[in-house]
Structure formats: C-alpha cells, structure tokens
Amino acid sequence: DVKVTQSSRYLVKRTGEKVFLECVQDMDHENMFWYRQDPGLGLRLIYFSYDVKMKEKGDIPEGYSVSREKKERFSLILESASTNQTSMYLCASTGSGTGINEQFFGPGTRLTVL
Amino acid sequence: AQKITQTQPGMFVQEKEAVTLDCTYDTSDPSYGLFWYKQPSSGEMIFLIYQGSYDQQNATEGRYSLNFQKARKSANLVISASQLGDSAMYFCAMRENNFNKFYFGSGTKLNVKP
C-alpha cells in the first residue's frame, strides 16, 4: 500500500517559533510538493522538489523554506511562524515515468499559529 | 490568469441523481493532463480520474466520467447515481507536461441530500 506520511496531523505553535513539517513517501518518487490549503483558495503550491537537494519555488514561497536531503523525505520549514501561516499543509509526491503520474497526498497537517 | 477555474463553490444533488462539476483550464502547452480529486471531511485527497490532452475518448472510472471538451478547454466531472458518501470537496487539477507543477482549482463542495 503506497503511502505519503506527514509528521503531525495537528500542530499548535507560537508566533516567532521555527516550525518543521516533515513528509515521507515510500514510492521512490522523484517529485515532492508542499501545498497550503485555505477555504476558497484551493491548494496553493509553496515549494516543490524534483530531485534530492533540488528545489523550486512555487506560487507562495515567502516565509517558507524546504529541505530535501534524502529522496523519500521533504521538509517544510517556517523560519519564524506568523498567524497568517495558520492553515492546512499538504504534502504530495509523484513519479516521473510513463503513466498518469498522479499526485499521492499525505493526510495533511493542520497548523495553528497563536 | 487562473490556470484552473471552478466556478461552483457549492452544489447540492439528490441521492441517486447525476451531477456535473465544472472545470475550465488555461494552457498553451499542447500536452497536458487533467485530474480530479475528492477530499472528504477527513481531509485526505483521493485521486478519481485522469484525462490526457491527446486522449480521444472521455475518461471513465466507475461512476465517474470526465466530459472533456478540448476546444472549450473544459474538463467537467460527471458523477452518476450520487451516493451520500460522495459528499466532499472536489478539486480539478492540471499538469502541463513540460513541467512537474500541478495547478489546482479552488474546489467545489458537493452535498448529496437523502
């Protein structure tokens, strides 16, 4: 059973804290993504990575950074959390071979910044 | 310009009836893929159906079918014989095949009434 896992389902942090969200996939996928989901806005891409140590900015990278030291793990870092980063964060992965290459998603982390 | 537009924030349908969820897209890439995902209240994203830009026939997966009108750049999801378990958010997404990025719409919340 293929899987994308995220380190926490719910997280509460204080303004100014450094926050780490971890994502692990077991499908040997090259591509991994971090999205945030807000009501009425759908999923917005924060960063993605197409290989180890490679990263690309998405549509809303400000206030975030990422790390991909191993193929299976993609971390999202909030350097100094702010209340406007309160959101649902979704991690996804996809392969690059022939085929549909749909995105597989983790269960999400609901982050609240107080 | 928006890459994916879903104009129906919310929809109601009677159980056992069919429902169409609208999706239009914008791309100049001749090769692209279109996806529909379901997100129940539990939060996980479930892949439903895929349509490739070069596919001659509309995609079908069980009760789901994709009404693909390439000239109109629309990719509407049709759910036949709605069930109570179909109540969820539905997202349309596109991947342009020159890139690894996926673009998501803002979603449609479907409520199936008994």
pLDDT in tens, A34-87: 999 998 888 999 999 999 999 999 999 999 999 999 999 999 999 999 999 999
Nearest chain A residue (CA) to B106: A42
Taken in order A64, A69, A71, A73, is the CA torsion positive or negative? negative
- Mean pLDDT lowest among A93-97, B55-59, B87-91: A93-97
Q: What is the pLDDT of residues B6-60, one digit of tens each?
A: 999 999 999 999 999 999 999 998 999 999 999 999 889 999 999 999 998 999 9
pLDDT for res A2: 66
Q: What is the pLDDT of residues A4-33, one digit of tens each?
A: 999 999 999 999 999 999 999 999 999 999
Any A CB within 8 A of B85 CB: no
Q: Tell me phi and psi for residue B10, to 5 degrees.
A: -145, 145
**Side by side, which strands form the sheet with A4-6?**
A4-6, A19-25, A73-78, A64-70
pLDDT for res B98: 66
pLDDT for res B48: 97
Beta bridge partners of A78: A19, A64
pLDDT for res A70: 96
pLDDT for res B97: 73
CA pair distance B4, B59, nearest whole angstrom: 19
Partner residue opposite B100 with nearest CB, options A42, A50, A102: A50
Are A100 and B9 within 8 A, CB to CB? no
More confident site: A38 or A101: A38
Please count the other Cβ atoms lying within 10 Å of the Cβ belonging to residue A38: 13
